[in-house]
Amino acid sequence: MSVTYRSARKSDAKACASIVQVWGAETPWMVPLDDLDAMAAFWADLLELDTAWVAEMDGAVVGFCVREEANIDGLYVAAHARNQGVGKALLDLAKADRDRLEIWVYEKNEHAHAFYKREGCKDVSRELDEHEGSDLMYVGCEWVRP
C-alpha cells in the first residue's frame, strides 16, 4: 500500500487520538488513558499550535508526529502500518529543518526506544512520569544533526 504524508490539521485529532488509544490498550504496562473525546481535544490543540504531520493509507490516518520547536510531543503509528517506514518518514519530516531534537520515550517502550536509537538518538536523561498513579520512567533522547 502507498503511504502519503501531509501537514496535520485540527480535524485529524480524533484519528490521531484513536491511534494512541489503541496503542495504550495493547500495551500492558501503560497507565489508563483519557477517553477518546478528551484525548482528541488534547491532540487538536497540539495539531493546531505545533508543527505536525500525518501519514495516510487509502485516505485513513495511520500515523502522526507532532513537533514543538525542537521537542517531539508525539510520534505514533497504527499497528497495521508499523515496520513499513512510516515512523521513520514522520521522524525525517520532523528532522528536516532542525539541527537538534529532543524526544521522551517510556523506558518500558523498548520498540520505540530501539527505533529512536536506530535513527541516531542518544539517551541523555531519565525522569519519572509525574502523572498520578504512574511509576513509569521516561528516557530523554537527543538527536543532533551529524
Interval 66-83 mean pLDDT: 96
Cβ atoms of 31 and 75 closer than 8 Å: no
Cβ atoms of 141 and 106 closer than 8 Å: no
| Ramachandran region, residue 69 (left: φ > 0; alpha: ψ -120 to 50; beta: rest) | left
Question: In a 10 Å sphere around its CB, with 0-12 CB exposed, 13-18 middle and 19+ buried, how is residue 7 labelled?
Answer: exposed
Q: Note the pLDDT tens digit of each residue in 26-58.
A: 999 888 888 999 999 999 999 998 999 999 999
Rounded percentage of the chain residues whose pLDDT exceeds 70: 97
Q: Reply yes or no on whether the pLDDT at 129 is more than 90.
A: no
The residue type found at 18 is S
Q: What is the pLDDT of residue 1?
A: 67
Cβ atoms of 54 and 13 closer than 8 Å: no
Report the distance separating Cα 12 and Cα 54, nearest Å. Answer: 8
Q: Reply yes or no on whether the pLDDT at 134 is more than 80.
A: no
| pLDDT averaged over every residue in the chain | 94
Interval 54-76 mean pLDDT: 97
